[in-house]
Structures are given as C-alpha cells and as structure tokens.
Amino acid sequence: MTRPISRHLAGAGAVLVAGALVLTGCGGSGFADEPAAQDDAAADSLTSSDDPLSILIGSSGDAETDAVTEAVAAWSEESGVDAEVQVASDLPQQLSQGFAAGSPPDLFYLAPEAIAGYADNGSLQAYGDLLANKDDFYPSLVENFTVDDTFYCAPKDFSTLGLVINTQLWEDAGLTDADVPTTWDELSDVAKTLTTDDQVGLSFGAEYQRVGTFMAQAGGGLVVDGAPAADSAGSVEGLEYVQSHLEDGTFAYAADLGAGWGGEALGKGLAAMVIEGNWVTGALTNDFPDIEYTVAELPAGPAGPGTLQFTNCWGMAADSPNQEAALSLVEHLTSAEQQLAFSEAFGPMPSSQSAAADWTSANPDLTAFLDGAAYAQFPPNWAGTTDVITDLNSQLESLRSGDVATILGTAQSNLEAIAE
Amino acid sequence: MSLLATPRDAGYRSGPDRARNGAGRGIRRGEAAAGWLFMLPVLVILGVFLLVPVLMALWVSFSDWSGRGSPLSSGVGFVGLDNYAAVTTGGGLAERDFGIALRNNTWYVLLVVPLQTALALFLAVLVNRAVLRGRGVFRTAFYFPSVTSSVAITVLWLFLFSTSGVVNTVLARVGIAGPNWFNDPSGVLHNLLGALGLRTGPDALTQHGFLGVTWWDWLAGPSVAMSAFVLMAIFTTSGTFMLLFVAGLQNIAPEVEEAAMVDGAGAWQRFWRITLPQLKPTLFTVLTLGLIGCWQVFDQIYTGTQGGPGKTTLTPAYLSYQSAFLSQDWGQGAAIAFILFVIIVLLTILQRWILRERPDVPRRARRGGPNPHPNPDRTTEADR
C-alpha cells in the first residue's frame, strides 16, 4: 500500500536533489556566467594579470614536447611569468571541454579546419594584427588563419608535400638525377619504369590531403579564389589522371599496399616514390634508418606546379586572463631563431620568411619542401570543412572504381552548403 | 527516537496501524528521514553524474549552444526541433552522415546480436556438461576476452586483420586471397551480388532512399571493415553472456530433464523444448544487453578506424562525438544521442513483446515449477 507513495516521494526527492544541484553546485562555478563578449574592435584591449599561462599542445613525440617546454621555460625565466606546457592526448576534445567550462588553456595548437568553429562561438582571441613580427609570415599562411578578414593567430610552422624518392630503387631501375619528373608525362614514365611485381612506382594516402596535389596541378582544388571549385575542369582532370594510373597499377594507395601511410610504403620498399611532407624525414630516420631518399618538388601539371601546405597556429583563448603575456610568448615562439630551433628538433619548416635562408643552408636536401611554399594550396578554413573533406576522402578510397564526376559533384554541393 | 521504543511495540505494530497513524506520528516516524539520509549519497551521485548531465544534454539538443560557456547561460537560445531536423530531414551532409551511421550500426546489430547470443548459449551448454573435464579452464578461457580492455583488443584486431596480418596469412595458406580488411569499404552483400553479376542496383533502389542514403546503399551490408568489428564483438562479448547462460542453466532443475528423458525425448528435443524455454528470462537479459551494447558501439571505432574506410564503420555514437567535439555542432551531437536512445528503447520494447509469455501456451504449469530465476515478463504482468 505504501509503495506508490514512496515512489512519488522518491521521484520528488530526485527532482529536488537535482534541482538543488543545478542551483548550488553549478551556479557558483561560472556556469551561469555570460561569456564576455569579444569583437574585433576590442582586439587591442588584451587582458592582463599575474596569472600563470597554460599551454596545451598536441605533440608528435618527446622531441617536440621537450623543445616546446624548453622554449617556454626560457621565455618564462626572461619575462617572469610562470608558464606550463601540457601535452593533450586528444586536442580537439580537451579544447572543447576547456571552452565549455570557461577555463581553456591560454595558448594552444590550433588547426586551420577548427578555427572557424571556435571563432564563430567567440572562443578565440584574434591577435594576429598585434604581432610585432606579423609581416614576416608567409602570406599564404596568414591567409590560412584569416577568418572574416580577421587574422586570428600566428602560424607556428608549416609543411608542404613533395615527391620523396627511394634512391636505391631509383638507381636499380637505371634512372639518374636527370630523370626526376617535372611534368605529369615524365611522372607517368618513371612510375611505369619503377613498377615491378614487388613495388609500385608512386604511392600516397587515399585522401584529399595527398590526391589534392594533382587537382591543384591541373588548376583545380576544393576552393580557388575563395569560391568552391571541386567540380571545376582542373579538379576533374587531376582526379582522372590519378584514376588512370591507379587502374594501370603504376600508382597505388598506401593502404592497398598494406602500409599505414606513404612513409611506411617507402620504407618497406613497397613503393619507389611517395607524396609526403616534411614529417617523413623524422619518421624514416626513426623507423627505417637504412633507407636513402631524395626529395624533389612535385611535378607540374597542365596548369603549373601545385602542392598542399599544412600548418597549425598558436590559438589564444578569449577567456584567457593574461593575454598580453600570451602574446609576448607567441612572439618569442614564432621568432625566426626559435622556429629554426624547433625545426631542428622535430622537423617542420619555419613560418617566418626571414628564417628561410638559414633553414635552406641547414637542410640543403629538403629545399624542395620550402620551394613549394610559393605555390601551395590549402583546404578552406570554413566551418564544416572537416566534414566535407572526410566525406570526400571516404569516396576517394574507391576512386579506382568510382566515377570522378560524381565524387567531385558531391564534394562541390557539400562545399557550396558551407561556403562563406 | 525509535531506539527508545520497546521491542514489543516495534514487533507488534502492524501495517494498517501505521497507515492510520500517518507518517508523522508513531514510533517509526524517524525511519523515513533515516531512510532518506542513507539514500542521500546514491541520490547525490546519481543526480550529479547521471540525471543532471542527461537533462543538460537534452536541453542542448533543443538549443543553439555553440560550445562556449554554460549551455544554461542566457545567450543560448531555444531552437525547438531544428537540430533533430538537421540530422533527419536536412537534406545535407549531416542527414546523410546520420543515415550512413544508422545503416552501418543496423547491420552490426543484425549480425552481432544473434550470433553472439547463439555462440554464448552454445559455449554455456558445452561448459555446463558435468562430464567435461577441466570445465574451469574452459570457462576462464572463454571469459578471458571479456575482461580484457576493448582498446587492447581493438589494437590486437588491427594487427591480426592488417593486409599482411595473421588472418590473411592463414587464408593465403589455404589458397584464399584475404581482403584488405580495415581498408576495404565495400559492402559484403554488394560483393556477393557483384559476384553474381549484379553490380548496379535497379533504379527503384538507387533513385530513392531514406536519410540521404539510397535503398541500394542501405542494402550494401556491413563493409568488410565492419565485418572485422562484428567478429571482434562476437569474440569479446560471447564470454560474458556465456556466464549468464551458465547461471541460467544451473538454475534448471535436473528432474524436468530426467522426466523428459523418461518420456523418450532425444537430446535435441530436450534442448529445444525443455532447456531453452526455461532459459527465456536469461535470453531476454542477454538479448537486451547485447542490443544496447551494439547500438552504443564507440570505443572500437574511436581507437580503430574513426569511421573509415569510406565512413562504413561510422556509428551513431561515434557520429555524435564527432559532430559535437570535432565539428562544434553540439546541438546535433546531442540530438543524435537522443535519437539513438529512442531507437534503443523502442527496440527493447519490441523485443520484450516478441519474447512475452503467451497465455495460450499449454505448458502453463511450469510457472509454478522450480524456476527461482527472476522473470521480467512476469513482473510486468503482476504490476499491471
């Protein structure tokens, strides 16, 4: 008889408890606080306080962690502001949590595809125009981090894609330095020469981030001059070129060779050439120290040379209590001298033009990567781009048997839906 | 207060007496408060970690919260069913992704739930036989995958099913060229149809669809990559469910079986007509847990494939995470989670209805029989 009553009581109690929790537990911790409104005009009113800085990075390994920690510690000693570097295990998730809780890290690695989402909800502090070394960055990198005509954050470094060649397999096939391909036709020829029963001529990952170079070389791309161009004639021509060689077996996706990525395919001798970026040098040294390789610029297509660039920036949180110190730290971390030290420690190229000469003399074998900076394309940084590229990649995996026009048509309509 | 009561008082107060006196008076009046006090820790923990987050997520699914600051702050607006509409009728990428995720997970459930239940039952019957030597060893061995972390098993699976991995090596030994498991986005059914010469579907199927996915693509079957996950789920969860079935089997009185033997029933008949009907409550538990677990599959995808290849291992649970944390579409992510919740509840109700006790079954007598196992169906009927 008493059961229904006690049930009602339990229900009421649970609601009461929950309500009390919402009111007490959550009210005090800034849950109900309105995020401070930030607009572009307020960019020169950075916050300032004595609070220590927290820096969240997505590290590629100990080398990168140590280098960043060391650089931040040096700045800390000089400026007297405490700063702590944390390595994220899942950067996007940890950032999102920080923004939602109102306690984000002051500075963090930020990828171009994530910038629009965070900029739209006001999580980011735009500080690009306040940088003393603003004019030293490559223009294409600045453009990569510009949303709605606001230069948000300083590019921390960058990489481009090049043609990485296994020297041994190259010579075994009777090829010389003079045979390094500079056009699509030459690429087709050497790929055919290099293809044997055990290896393919050229390999790369089944993704826009590699295949897109061919679209760029034919004058296409996902976005050209600010407008979606996924189904332009150039894009179609680029993909059809790739498709024809996937069919004749002189090109192959790394996954189809049983390799996780291009570098592994090259290291295992499954492919004589791969399309990879600066990171390949460190990976080959670690995993395949015996492999000898040379790096060349990607061959030019019918519309000239083309490659893709990849970069991250130092994002600054709008909720950071000590943005002035953070700005000073970014200037330190992106100085030519510091970027050269980073480059030596873990690979990517300095985003400062003034560091180019020093970098070239320190890395004479890798200049092809830096030369690519002059004409590199980059994926759009619109909100929702990640989904579009993921969708495109899912179709590129079956490019060999797929229909190029359909694949690019889908990408085009997806891009138009998010175009700004 | 009740400490002062005499034992005689406490012992002889009867139910109706209490009801007449009401809650406020009598020697038991302190008990309700004490009861609440003892329940408080659980209520607080459940409230803070379960009820409040669920309610907040429900609110987020109806709001335009952008991921910054509190979802309860005044700047966050109510947008009604917009988020639900975007993933179900939006016509864009969000709808198609949700359709693909549902397609993938439906095939996963259709394969994993029956197969893991059958395998678990088979293993349980095997290790339950009194004549089997070293039963303990087998039980431990079968249960072992269940206690191993799913992340560890996923990594193991990635190695086993890599292009040049153990599975393909073994297949090569017997003359089969193994597929490129985790990189093969082609649907198993499509491949079978392709082998029969049917490579493109009829217009009736390819021109129309549901949730942005054509019927032909709905019928693709699980991709080769998803099949590897199906095998993994069966491998890891069968042990857990075997344990439930073993418990159920040990609750079955041997007399019934002996009676059936006397009546001349063979082993096969005894299993289908004696053992299985008595395992119905356990079967319900196993199917429900299996169904829920399968619709929530996340960690394998997160550590293994992140939805690839070709989005064929994308599941609603992973899509929800991806929309919220990676694409900053928090409302859509929460909406997907609640649609998934509704799907699970509906399917559980459906399954409960299918497995209900049918009143016209002549063997009613066994209700009074020696079956101490709690029967969920019976409880409902009593409540009604």
pLDDT digits (tens, 9 = 90+) for B137-167: 888 888 888 888 888 999 999 889 887 788 9
pLDDT digits (tens, 9 = 90+) for A150-183: 999 999 999 999 999 999 999 999 998 899 999 9
Q: Any idea which of A371-385, B40-54, B125-139, B212-226 has the lowest mean pLDDT?
A: B125-139
The predicted structure's pLDDT at residue B178: 81
What average pLDDT score do residues A282-289 get?
87
Assigned domain for A39 exists: no
Q: Is the ipTM of this complex over 0.95?
A: no
Q: What angle do CA B308, B312, B314 make, to 5 degrees?
A: 75
Residue B198 distance to chain A (closest CA, Å): 15
Pair (B254, B336) in one structural domain = yes
Query: What SS3 string covers B95-133?
Result: HHHHHHHHHHHHHHHHHHHHHHHHHHHHHHHHHHCCCCC
The predicted structure's pLDDT at residue B212: 83
CATH number at residue B117: 1.10.3720.10
The predicted structure's pLDDT at residue A162: 94
Pair (A205, A78) in one structural domain = no
Pair (A282, A343) in one structural domain = no
Question: Cβ B324–A22 below 8 Å, yes or no?
Answer: no
Pair (A180, A249) in one structural domain = yes
Assigned domain for A241 exists: yes
Between B22 and A418, the more confident residue is: A418
pLDDT digits (tens, 9 = 90+) for B289-309: 999 999 999 989 999 888 878
pLDDT at B109 > cutoff 90: yes
Q: Is the Cβ of A117 closer than 8 Å to some Cβ of chain B?
A: yes
The predicted structure's pLDDT at residue B360: 58
Pair (B55, B92) in one structural domain = no
Tokens matching residue B102: 């549902």
Pair (A89, A170) in one structural domain = no
Pair (B358, B304) in one structural domain = yes
Q: Is the Cβ of A23 closer than 8 Å to some Cβ of chain B?
A: no
Of chain A, the percentage scoring pLDDT greater than 70 comes to 89
Which positions in chain B touch A17 (Cβ < 8 Å)?
40, 43-44, 47
The length of chain B in residues reads: 384
The whole domain housing B38 covers: 2-61
Q: Is the Cβ of B328 closer than 8 Å to some Cβ of chain A?
A: yes
CA distance A398 to A391: 12
The predicted structure's pLDDT at residue B68: 83
pLDDT at A336 > cutoff 60: yes
| In contact, B93 and A417? CB cutoff 8 Å | yes
Helical H segments across A102-218, by residue range: 112-120, 139-144, 167-172, 184-194, 208-217
Which helix (H) or strand (E) is A85 found in, with range?
Answer: strand A83-87
The predicted structure's pLDDT at residue B269: 87
Of chain B, the percentage scoring pLDDT greater than 90 comes to 32
What average pLDDT score do residues A76-89 get?
91
What average pLDDT score do residues B18-28 get?
56
Pair (A189, A298) in one structural domain = yes
Pair (A61, A152) in one structural domain = yes
The predicted structure's pLDDT at residue A7: 46
pLDDT at B366 > cutoff 60: no
pLDDT at B240 > cutoff 70: yes
Pair (A87, A200) in one structural domain = no
Assigned domain for B274 exists: yes
Give the closest of A32, A114, A394 to B70, CB-based: A32
Pair (A200, A301) in one structural domain = yes
What average pLDDT score do residues B227-255 get?
90
The predicted structure's pLDDT at residue B57: 92
Assigned domain for A372 exists: yes
pLDDT at B11 > cutoff 70: no
Question: Cβ A258–B163 below 8 Å, yes or no?
Answer: yes
- What is the average pLDDT score of chain B? 82
pLDDT digits (tens, 9 = 90+) for A202-255: 999 999 999 999 999 999 999 888 889 999 999 999 999 999 999 999 999 998
The whole domain housing A238 covers: 161-309+381-418
Pair (B374, B264) in one structural domain = yes
The predicted structure's pLDDT at residue B205: 81
Assigned domain for B197 exists: no
Q: Is the Cβ of A96 closer than 8 Å to some Cβ of chain B?
A: yes
pLDDT category, B84, cuts 50, 70, 90? Answer: very high
Point out which residues pair with A154 in neighbouring strands. Answer: A314
Assigned domain for B133 exists: yes
Give Cα B193 to chain centroid, integer Å. Answer: 30
Pair (B112, B182) in one structural domain = yes
- Top-confidence range, B223-232, B305-314, B358-367: B223-232
Over its C-alpha atoms, chain B yields an Rg (Å, rounded) of: 27
Pair (A400, A289) in one structural domain = yes
pLDDT category, B258, cuts 50, 70, 90? Answer: confident
Return the axis-axis angle of helices A385-396 and A404-418, rounded to nearest 10°.
170
Question: Cβ A100–B69 below 8 Å, yes or no?
Answer: yes
| In contact, B29 and B21? CB cutoff 8 Å | no
The predicted structure's pLDDT at residue B115: 95
Give the closest of A34, A258, A383 to B164, CB-based: A258
The predicted structure's pLDDT at residue A15: 45
Assigned domain for B235 exists: yes
Question: Cβ A34–B93 below 8 Å, yes or no?
Answer: no
Write the DSSP string, A313-336: EEEEBTT-S-HHHHHHHHHHHTSH
Cα–Cα separations (whole angstroms), residue B72 to A15, A102, A141, B58, B267? 18, 13, 37, 12, 62
Assigned domain for B34 exists: yes
Between B39 and A45, the more confident residue is: B39
Q: What angle do CA A233, A239, A244 make, to 5 degrees?
A: 120
The predicted structure's pLDDT at residue B25: 61
The predicted structure's pLDDT at residue A163: 94
Interface of A with B in 268-297 (CB under 8 A): none
Pair (B46, B113) in one structural domain = no
Pair (B322, B287) in one structural domain = yes
The predicted structure's pLDDT at residue A116: 86
| In contact, B99 and B314? CB cutoff 8 Å | no
Pair (A405, A361) in one structural domain = no
Pair (B97, B49) in one structural domain = no
The predicted structure's pLDDT at residue B361: 52
- Top-confidence range, A152-161, B7-16, B18-27: A152-161
pLDDT category, B201, cuts 50, 70, 90? Answer: confident
Tokens matching residue A30: 């800034």
The DSSP output letter for A128 is G
Question: Cβ B69–A387 below 8 Å, yes or no?
Answer: no
Domain count, chain B: 2
Pair (B132, B47) in one structural domain = no
pLDDT category, A334, cuts 50, 70, 90? Answer: very high
Assigned domain for B203 exists: no
What average pLDDT score do residues A341-363 get?
89
Which positions in chain A touch B226 (Cβ < 8 Å)?
none
The predicted structure's pLDDT at residue B144: 85
Pair (B56, B92) in one structural domain = no
Nearest to A71 by CA among A353, A345, A317: A345
Assigned domain for A196 exists: yes
What average pLDDT score do residues A360-389 get?
88
Q: Is the Cβ of B307 closer than 8 Å to some Cβ of chain A?
A: yes
Pair (B16, B96) in one structural domain = no
Assigned domain for B215 exists: no
Helix, strand, or coil here: A297? coil
pLDDT digits (tens, 9 = 90+) for A21-57: 444 334 333 333 334 444 444 445 788 888 889 999 9
Sign of CA dihedral A144, A147, A148, A153: negative
Assigned domain for B376 exists: yes
Beta strands A200-204 and A271-277, pairing class: parallel
- What is the average pLDDT score of chain A? 85
Interface of B with A in 7-66 (CB under 8 A): 15, 19, 36, 39-40, 43-44, 46-48, 51-52, 55, 66
Nearest to A118 by CA among A386, A309, A377: A386
pLDDT digits (tens, 9 = 90+) for B325-362: 888 889 999 999 999 999 999 998 998 888 887 765 55
Pair (A267, A397) in one structural domain = yes
Question: Cβ B307–A395 below 8 Å, yes or no?
Answer: no
Pair (B142, B23) in one structural domain = no
Q: Give every CB contact of residue A44 below 8 A, 6+ residues apart in sequence.
A: A130
Assigned domain for A33 exists: no
Pair (A171, A207) in one structural domain = yes
Q: Give every CB contact of residue B328 below 8 A, 6+ residues apart in sequence.
A: A96, A114, A117, A118, A120, A121, A383, B66, B67
CATH number at residue A107: 3.40.190.10
Please, what's the largest Cα pairwise distance for chain B?
Answer: 87
pLDDT digits (tens, 9 = 90+) for B270-289: 888 888 888 988 999 999 99
Domain count, chain A: 2
Q: Answer whether 0.80 is exceeded by the pTM.
A: no
Give the closest of A21, A96, A100 to B48, CB-based: A21
Which positions in chain B touch A384 (Cβ < 8 Å)?
93, 327
